[in-house]
Each structure stands twice: as C-alpha cells, then as structure tokens.
Amino acid sequence: MKANIICGALMVALLSCGERKQNQQFQPSSTGSINGLIVVMENDLWQGVVGDSVRAHFAKPALGLMPEQPILSLTQIPPKVFSGAVTRARSVLYVAQDTLTIAHIKTDLYASPQKIAVVKGTNQQEILVGLDQLAENAIRSYKAVEIKEAQKRFQKSLNREKALQEVLGIAMNIPSAYRVGKQEEGFVWFDRQIPKGTLNVIAYSMPNNSFSNDSTFVNDIVAMRDSIGKRFIPGPDEGTYMITERAFAPYLFPLATNGLKGAEAKGIWEINGYPMAGPFLTHILNDTINQRKVVVEGFAFAPATQKRDYMFELEAILKTVTISK
C-alpha cells in the first residue's frame, strides 16, 4: 500500500512538472519597441497628479544626451484596453486606485521576457507613495529586460572579426553592421554608418594602478579619454582630436557586468578646436586575470538627431564584454 502511495505521489509530481514545463514552453514572446513603456491606468489618473508623478519618474531626461530625451517612451492606455496582444508588452506599468495598497514587480506574467510594475492604493496619496518607492527599482528592471532584448536582436548577426581577441584578449558581441575602422597596438575601433552620422565602439587597456585615488577619479577618467582621443581619434582638421566636453563633468556609476566590476562614465565628447560633439558611455573594468584595466567605450556622432536608442544599442554591446582566460 505504501509503495502504491509513493508511486502515485511520484506520478503526480512528474505530471505537475511536465505541465509547468509545457506552460512555460507555450508562453508567447513579449513585444514592443526598445525603451517603450505601456502605462495602464484610468484616463482621469493619467491627467492628474498621479500621471504627473508617472511622467516625472519614468519619462525624466536621460543623462548625457543632447537634445534631451526621456529615459522611456510612455504610452498610456485605460485598463479596459489592456487585453489580448497588448498584455504581451515587454515593459508595463499598471497603476490603479483599489481596495488594497501594493507596489511590486511581476516577471513574465503574460509573456517572456516581461516586467510588470504594479502600483495600487486606496487613494491617490497612497498611489503616489507607491510610485516614489517603486520607481527606481522598476526602471532598473525595465532597463535590464530591454538590454537583453537588444542583445538578443543583434545576436542574430554578429561581427566575426578577431581584432579584439588579437589585440586585447577580450570579446564582445558586436553586430555585423559594425566594421573595424582602426586597429593599432593596444587599441581597436569599430564603427557603423547611421543616417546622419556614425556609431562607434572603441576598446583599449590601461595599467592596473591608473585610478588609485578616489578624489581624482573623475579627473583621471577625463585625462585618460583625452589622451586616447589625441592619440587615436582625430577630428576633421589637422591637429584636432576628441576630448571630454569641458563644461560638464561626466556622470559616474558603479558597474558590474559578466562577473567584472568597475565604473561607468556618461558624458559629452567634443572635438578640440572644431564644432563637433556627442554623447559617450565608458566602461572601465577590473581585469583581475591580467592585472589591468580594460576600457570599452561607445560614442555617437549624429547631429540634430535623437540619440537615446543609439546609445542604448552601444550600452547593450558594451555589456557583452568578456575577458579571455
């Protein structure tokens, strides 16, 4: 009898496991444009202080861009419209006045990959508090899923050139639209043409003790970028070259990617002695295997053009970097 009970329990467990796998297998793929956010809330909330709070948090200007652009592109729809194919949006914010107060993030609820941030309150003040508490975590969650989506899209067609491995002993997943434009000792430069300019990825290494003093970290980064620009990145006229924009110090953030720790810098580059400028994103990574700093950077030249999604593409590329062992 006990053996039959045990066998029966095992069969139930196996069938249950099979059902879970089947459900996961048939979950539809999420949809949506990169950096788009579906905001599900009633029209009266959207048009009032709750909507103002949503816009202040989720459509604030992205750092280091000119002209200014929001971090996410918001599309508001009322709850009654949130059904069918719309529920498969990759990034969703659901805001409602309800009988309970919650603020949390759900993963892969209707599709995969998907992040749905839910904020509810019994009154508008409770909703506002929930938005304040959840916004930054929700934005990080959206960004993570959007980065993965961007990487998935360009994974289909990658550049197969070996310059990064040969020169620096590193690897990155770089789309095939990029080509090596310069390869010198300790320096590699990829670029691709866009409608009004170019997107660029550069990589080089620095000595392990290049940034030993926290108090001079920002100045050291600027000096590093300027020296690399002078040596490798010329401007249109003789004697001109890339430098870090003088009027504004770069924004700095801690960074951890693929097991590598370091720092991220965002700012504006310009050409010394020539009217050209644009945004840059620099990752400085601790290569403990080779006792050095590995620097990978993306920068865009696209005058009078919205650059958020271009810089997001570059960030997605930089975050694939790995060190050869």
- 116-159 pLDDT, tens digit per residue, is 999 999 999 999 999 999 999 999 999 999 999 999 999 889 99
Q: Please give the torsion angle defined by the CA atoms of residues 28, 32, 33 and 39, in that order, rounded to the nearest 10 degrees.
A: -140
Closest CA to 118 of 79, 150, 174: 79
- pLDDT over threshold 60, residue 78: yes
For residue 316, give both structure tokens. 């997605």
**Gap between the Cα atoms of 228 and 284, Å rounded:** 14
Q: Tell me the three state secondary structure of residue 149.
A: helix
Phi, psi (deg, nearest 5) at residue 92: -135, 140
- pLDDT over threshold 90, residue 5: no
Contact 236, 276 (CB under 8 A): yes
The label of the residue with tokens 């290494």 reads 205
Pick the residue with more confidence: 12 or 150? 150
User: How does residue 25 score in pLDDT terms, banded at 50, 70 and 90?
Assistant: low
Per-residue pLDDT, 140: 97
Per-residue pLDDT, 324: 83
Closest CA to 121 of 47, 40, 38, 50: 50
Helix axes 308-318, 124-154, angle to 10 degrees: 60
The label of the residue with tokens 């006045």 reads 97
Cα angle, residue 250 at apex, residues 245 and 254 outer, rounded to 5°: 155
Helices (H) and strands (E) in the chain, counts: 7, 15
Q: Please give the torsion angle defined by the CA atoms of residues 22, 28, 34 and 37, in that order, rounded to the nearest 10 degrees.
A: -100
Contact 186, 204 (CB under 8 A): yes
Q: How much is the average pLDDT of 201-212?
A: 94
- pLDDT over threshold 60, residue 2: no
SS (HEC) of 251-304: EEEEEEECCEEEEEEEEEEEEECEEEEEEEEEEEEEECCCCEEEEEEEEEECCC
